[in-house]
Amino acid sequence: MGTPGGAPSPPSPPSPLSLLLALALLCPGGSAGGSCPAHCICASNLLSCSQANLSLVPSPLPRFASVLDLSHNNVSRLRGDWSPARLPHLHTLLLSHNGLAFVSTEAFAAVPRLRHLDLSNNRLRALDENLFSDLGELEVLLLYNNEISSVDRTAFENLGRLRKLYLGRNRIARFPLELLREGSRLPRLALLDLSANRLRAVPAGELQALPAWLRDRLYLHDNPLGCDCALFQLLARGRRRRLSAVLDFQEELTCHLPGSPHASVAILELAGRQPLNCSEAREAVLEAHLGDSVTLGCDSRWQDGSRHWVTPAGDRVMPGDGGGNGTAALLANGSLELRALRAEDAGTYACWVAGPLLNETLYVELLVHNFTLHGPHDTLNTAYTTLVGCILSVVLVLIYLYLTPCRCCCCRAAEKAPAPRDDSINSSVLSTTPNHDGGHGEPRPAPGGGPGQNGRFKGGGGTPPPAAPRGPKGQRKVSDPDSVSSVFSDTPIVV
């Protein structure tokens, strides 16, 4: 049919399926490695068996196959012998929309070079022990929209090259933190989707310690999370840093307030809201002391890219550069190491990152304290002073118990009032009896007012304590407040 101007209309472009069929006709028999299975379309090293109503994987499969599409079929069980022959070139296997409920732990022994595995939209309920351990080169694993509620800790063993793991829309109730810890099972993981599961809590503190390039692709939306301020601060930092997992799903990042399990609120709206009344925490503030050595991290969204630092004095620290004062050095991971801190090293440091899409600047505020006022040295001095005070107290008690001048009962009968000695040290430290007895058994006041032992103030004109009553108990004498019994009072010991 022509156009309104009478010119013939251009031919419509061929569909991808017609191109695939045309390529299949050019090589209908495949190659010496095998033939194209029935109900499948083969185009060079691509095999499409999608929507063929298959209940079993067709066999034999050509050894030269690199992509195998088995999606939208009825393959409910994937046994270890689904491919009798080894497929050394297969790097993509698509098994979505099959009602798959069982996968053998030996199912992937025949495809060790697999890099992309799609098991999404099936009925898997558990990821068993060492399920994917034969896939040492796997980079992308899709497991979303299943019924997974149990994940064995070793299910992802040996996946040292895995970069993207999609576990969204399942029934996972425990956060698999071991998948994210740096240097653990998945050292190259850069995306983890846990959205739309049954997570009620996440380890916000440990997640905040993860590098920003991993938090940028950690998806937690559509989970029944409980509201707390640690979770709010984690996401607030992500919004301030413009992390994709937070910015793209702000409305879906909700939580349940305490006492309201059915009412959800946006996590990023918890600032100043009762009953939690959360506040945003300051980011990238580091405290140190004079003479310390510290390392300032450059927590960028870009895992790769060139980095350099700018000090508060305006000096640039480049790779291999010692810095303006010779105490700053740029480490291989992009962090800045500062040695032998001085007071002038305090201030705001800027890390400049040249990323693949845009540049990013991060700021770290460094506070340098004088160790005589703050820091671990004061803690040590306080502990030392307390220890010395305790030892001195024990020594004084032992002296009082075992070195008393008179220990016999007969001495008590012949006890005489001691002569007044105003300069006696023993009477004020080692004795529990009054150190200045008057003629009638009443303590004599100090000659003048002034500070007493342990900082107590003795008033010069203070009222003396009342005389002890006579009788069987009339011989009890009032103990001096400056005696050894005061060691156990609430007055601190000054050493």
Task: Check residues 112 and 12 and name the one with the higher pLDDT.
Answer: 112
**Residue range 160-176: mean pLDDT, rounded:** 95
3-state secondary structure 444-470: CCCCCCEECHHHCEECCCCCCCCCCCC
Give the Cα-Cα-Cα angle 323, 326, 327 (nearest 5 degrees): 90
pLDDT tens, residue by residue, 391-446: 888 888 888 777 765 555 555 544 555 555 444 444 343 344 444 444 444 444 44
The per-residue pLDDT for range 9-31, each reduced to its tens digit, is: 444 444 443 444 344 433 433 33
Q: Is the pLDDT of residue 294 over 70?
A: yes
Instruction: Compute the distance between CA of residue 381 and CA of residue 214 in angstroms, rounded to an integer.
Output: 42
Q: Does residue 86 have a pLDDT over 60?
A: yes
119 with 100: CB under 8 angstroms? yes
Amino acid, res. 315? D
The fold for domain 286-369 equals Immunoglobulin-like (2.60.40)
pLDDT at 483 over 70: no
In this structure, is the dihedral angle defined by the CA atoms of residues 210, 214, 220 and 221, taken in order, positive or negative?
A: positive
Residue with more model confidence, 229 or 302:
229
Looking at the chain, the number of H-run helices and the number of E-run strands are 8, 26
Please report, for the chain, the start and end positions of each structural domain, with discontinuous segments joined by +: 286-369
What distance in Å separates the CA atoms of residue 337 and residue 320, rounded to the nearest whole number? 12
pLDDT of residue 10: 44
The pLDDT score that the predictor gives to residue 468 is 47
User: 84 pLDDT band (50/70/90 cuts)?
Assistant: confident
Cβ atoms of 361 and 348 closer than 8 Å: no
pLDDT digits (tens, 9 = 90+) for 244-287: 999 999 999 999 988 776 778 999 988 877 787 787 766 667 78
Residue that wins the pLDDT comparison between 343 and 2:
343
pLDDT at 379 over 90: no
pLDDT at 495 over 50: no
Q: Look up residue 46 and give its DSSP letter.
A: E
pTM (two decimals): 0.60
Highest mean pLDDT among 135-149, 238-252, 297-311: 135-149
From the list 248, 237, 232, 229, the residue with the least C-alpha distance to 212 is 237
Mean pLDDT taken over the chain: 75
Indicate the pLDDT class of residue 370, thresholds 50, 70 and 90. confident
| Residue 493 near residue 389 (C-beta atoms within 8 A) | yes
In angstroms, how far is CA 114 from the centroid of its own chain? 32
- Reported as a single tens digit per residue, the pLDDT across 203-246 is 988 898 888 888 899 999 999 999 988 899 899 988 988 899 99
